[in-house]
């Protein structure tokens, strides 16, 4: 139960990474309270450092800080989820456009290895599967060398896992590995437009798989609308 040990000035970042990891692993589910005191006690640092980490996380959209009421793991709405994936697509489109036909042999191998790891984890290790699926996208982004782009894609991939945790269907991330393979093939072939199209399809299928439940818990008036129409009632 030793706390964080690192040289001066680095511990806040360690706290940040620990919390981020816990959130992405869903050890801390969306909505979970994040009391500065108990976190600090658990990690062996004072509340100040926990606070700094929470501020960082809130800037990244993983944590929501409610003034005077403490921080909680963010619980993005369905609409925020859809907007997030829309934005993510715009950025990942830039990623594949940048990378098409530009990958070095070493990079191609790295991506192949990654996809291999995804296949290896498929089926029997759900948590790893999910993590690797996200990391494929951040790995691609990192190969652009565009710092801003990398940072935003990382952020959105992280937040995507919150969305999937809230609204995703169980076992919904399994079918994506082959799509990763197709994207890589298009990039290697330098077929930019096809890579964009594949990425579009890939992200869209994630979105709809995850966000389709929209119908289920929407406003009762919307739910009833179709029944009314079927009965020749209302509008």
Partner DNA sequence: TGGGATTTGTTCGTATGTATT
Partner DNA sequence: GAATACATACGAACAAATCCC
- List residues binding a copy of itself (CB under 8 A): 8-10, 48, 51-52, 55-56, 59-61, 67-68, 80, 83-84, 86-87, 90-91, 93-94, 98, 145-149, 152, 156
Number of continuous H segments (helices) and E segments (strands) in the chain: 10, 3
Q: x/- string (CB under 7 A) for DNA, residues 6-45?
A: -xxxxxx--------------------xxxxxx------x
Q: x/- string (CB under 7 A) for DNA, residues 130-149?
A: --------------------
Q: How far is the CB of 148 from DNA (least distance, A)?
A: 24
User: Which tokens go with 128?
Assistant: 């790893």
Residue 86's CB is within 10 A of a number of other CB atoms, namely: 12
Based on CB atoms, which residue is closest to a copy of itself, 55 or 72? 55
Task: Indicate which of DNA, a copy of itself, none lies near residue 70 (CB less than 5 to 8 Å, by partner kind).
Answer: DNA
User: Which tokens go with 22?
Assistant: 């816990």
Q: How far is the CB of 84 from a copy of itself (least distance, A)?
A: 5
Radius of gyration of the chain (CA): 20
Per-residue CA distances from 73 to 24, 69, 126, 163, 217 (Å):
10, 13, 21, 12, 22
Closest among 203, 135, 215, 120 to 167, alpha carbons compared? 215
Per-residue CA distances from 10 to 50, 63, 100, 182 (Å):
12, 21, 37, 40
Task: Indicate which of DNA, a copy of itself, none lies near residue 125 (CB less than 5 to 8 Å, by partner kind).
Answer: none
Binding residues vs DNA (CB under 7 A):
7-12, 33-38, 45-49, 51, 65, 67-71
């Amino acid at each position: 139960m030793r706390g964080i040990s690192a040289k001066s000035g680095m511990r806040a970042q360690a706290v940040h990474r620990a919390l981020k990891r816990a959130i992405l692993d869903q050890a801390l589910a969306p909505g979970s309270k994040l009391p500065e005191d108990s976190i600090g006690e658990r990690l062996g640092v004072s509340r100040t450092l926990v606070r700094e980490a929470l501020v960082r996380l809130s800037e990244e959209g993983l944590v929501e800080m409610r003034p005077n009421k403490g921080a909680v793991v963010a619980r993005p709405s369905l609409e925020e989820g859809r907007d997030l994936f829309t934005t993510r697509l715009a950025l990942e489109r830039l990623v594949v456009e940048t990378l098409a036909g530009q990958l070095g042999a070493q990079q191609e191998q790295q991506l192949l290895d990654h996809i291999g790891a995804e296949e290896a984890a498929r089926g029997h290790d759900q948590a790893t599967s999910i993590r690797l699926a996200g990391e494929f996208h951040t790995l691609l982004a990192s190969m652009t060398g565009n710092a801003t782009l990398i940072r935003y894609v990382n952020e959105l991939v992280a937040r995507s896992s919150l969305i999937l945790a809230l609204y995703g269907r169980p076992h919904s991330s399994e079918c994506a590995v082959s799509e990763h393979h197709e994207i890589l093939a298009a990039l290697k072939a330098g077929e930019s437009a096809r890579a964009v199209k594949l990425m579009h399809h890939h992200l869209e299928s994630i979105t709809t798989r995850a966000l389709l439940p929209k119908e289920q818990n929407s406003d009762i008036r919307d739910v009833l609308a179709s029944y009314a129409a079927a009965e020749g009632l209302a509008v």
